[in-house]
Amino acid sequence: MTPRAKSALVLVCVFALGGVSGAAAMRAYGIEQFRPAAGESAFEARARLRMEAMRRRLDLTSDQVSKIEIILADAEKQRDEKVEPCKGELDEVREATDARILEVLDEVQRQKYREYREHKRKGRGKRD
């Protein structure tokens, strides 16, 4: 291999390695940003991320942040009150959907799906 070809190969490898490293770092950063803090419900995590985005984009004052946090908490309370009467029906839809999905999966996939659904149900229970 000529010295010029070696140089080109090294340059391509360095470029590819930089791209892979950058992608991995962005993925890790993204996962960390969206992971709820310990003891934080899914709603609290979404509200925190929404508030951070609004604070950055709208240049909110601390007084505005406090007022908007109250508005978001009130909206969540109202949403919960409206959803409460429908929870039984929603559970029926979830169970029927799970049954239909399980019919499509093989046995190994069924077990993994059941574990996934149990994990999701536990997460949903934190908010209730």
- Residue 88: burial class (beta carbons within 10 Å; 0-12, 13-18, 19+): exposed
Work out how many domains the chain is built from and give that number: 2
If asked whether residues 31 and 85 sit together in one domain, one would say: no
pLDDT tens readout for residues 58-96: 988 989 989 988 998 888 888 888 888 888 888 888 899
If asked whether residues 7 and 28 sit together in one domain, one would say: yes
Domain hosting residue 22, numbered range: 1-35
33/10 Cα distance (integer angstroms): 34
At 75, list the tokens: 């909206």
If asked whether residues 121 and 67 sit together in one domain, one would say: yes
pLDDT tens readout for residues 110-127: 999 999 888 877 766 554
If asked whether residues 21 and 68 sit together in one domain, one would say: no
If asked whether residues 115 and 67 sit together in one domain, one would say: yes
